[in-house]
Amino acid sequence: MDKILVHGGHPLNGTVRVSGSKNSALPILAAALLTRQPCVISNVPDLSDINYMLQILSHLGAHVERASGVVRIEAEKIKTEAPYDIVRKMRASVCVLGPLLGREREATVSLPGGCVIGDRPIDLHLKGFEALGAVSRIEHGNVKLFAKELRGATVNLRGKQGPTVLGTDNVMMAAVLAEGTTVIESAAAEPEVVDLANFLNKMGAKIEGAGTRRIVIEGVPELHGAEHEVIPDRIEAGTYLVAGAIMGGDVMLRRVDPTHLGALIDALRQSGYEIEIGKGTLRIKGHPSPTPVQLTTEPYPGFPTDMQAQMCALLSQTSGISVISETIFPQRFMHVSELKRMGADISLDGHTAIIKGVEKMSGAPVMASDLRASAALVLAGLRADGVTEVNRVYHIDRGYESIDEKLNQLGARIERMKA
């Protein structure tokens, strides 16, 4: 098991290229199961979550080839069961349910289990499948779906904390091969949902409204192969923007879609940082005396929950009192106790973090609890005195392609070692 040593105090300057979106690539790869013809997906990031998904597709019978960020999938004949041994490693593996149900009218997929950032049930996924005519049941830890036929229906996918992204993906993938018209109300509007819809449309699907709260899907008899390039990862991009802010340098991001980062850009500008927006680029310059901010995480296009931990790291070293309220995953504050080990002054009041900026934090051994928390600890360590030892970095390898190498290219001093 690897650990990362972050030597604090090294300014960041230069250019970093943003990788393809993990949260786009995972359902897009799963969607290749919907056709017997080959699909070619480019700009696929090299991440452990992607590796697990490709293992699942191979287990299901697909022929998978991968080279230099390009994945070719041919699923001429497929099985309909994904066992616990491979599914347990990644919650997003449930996104094979929709393609299997859509193509084969049945699916058996093991439930991946709990998540440290809170309860993340798939009840809305099942609600959508059942509206299309499927019967679902849970037996021995497996979700089983059966349908004699799938017919279009209207389904509302709003949950307690807002629309479900994976649920929208899953129902959309099942509905493209259903008979008639499906309407998803309260659909997730994230760019990753739009990316999946664009890929499905290239395969011959008829989807309108992706990116809004109402998606309309006209079912088609079959889909064909297609080629598609995955969009840039907006959360990776946001993480490097915050890294530039923390270290007060001059950092340029290339191959990024600035329209996907509006809420974060607004928050950083509100704090005083200068951000230049170009065609496919973002540039952030440090500020000698940034000001505190108040943030509330919300479904897209609001402030993303996946950037909450990174902003906690930044605001912990921003003079004044900042407040972050977490409305998507109220338990998503596991990083707070680790930041406090480094000297942060953060108190929790329910689902709200009250952050009193300190002049300096100090390096310490810390434990990553989830993907974004691990990124936050690395960011905090960039500016902290001494060395920050981040353990359990397998979390960060799930969603950041070569984060240590990219930060080192900007001037950081980070070592990866065997724990």
Per residue, what are the HEC states of 75-127? CCCCCCEECHHHHCCCHHHHHHHHHHHHHHCEEEEECCCCCCCCCCCCHHHHH
Is 115 annotated in the active site? yes
Q: Are 343 and 361 in contact (CB under 8 A)?
A: yes
Q: In sequence order, which residues have a C-beta less than 8 Å from that of residue 337 and are 6 or more positions away?
A: none
Residue 404, phi then psi, degrees to nearest 5: -65, -40
Backbone φ/ψ region at 228: left (φ over 0), alpha (ψ -120 to 50), beta: beta
Burial of 137 (0-12, 13-18, 19+ CB in 10 A): exposed
Report the alpha-carbon angle 284-286-289, nearest 5: 140
Q: What element of type H or E holds 325? A: strand 321-325
Q: Are 85 and 93 in contact (CB under 8 A)?
A: no
Helices (H) and strands (E) in the chain, counts: 13, 26
Tokens 């049945």 identify what position?
Answer: 106
**Strand bridging mode 70-74 / 39-42:** antiparallel
Task: Point out the residues that are catalytic.
Answer: 115
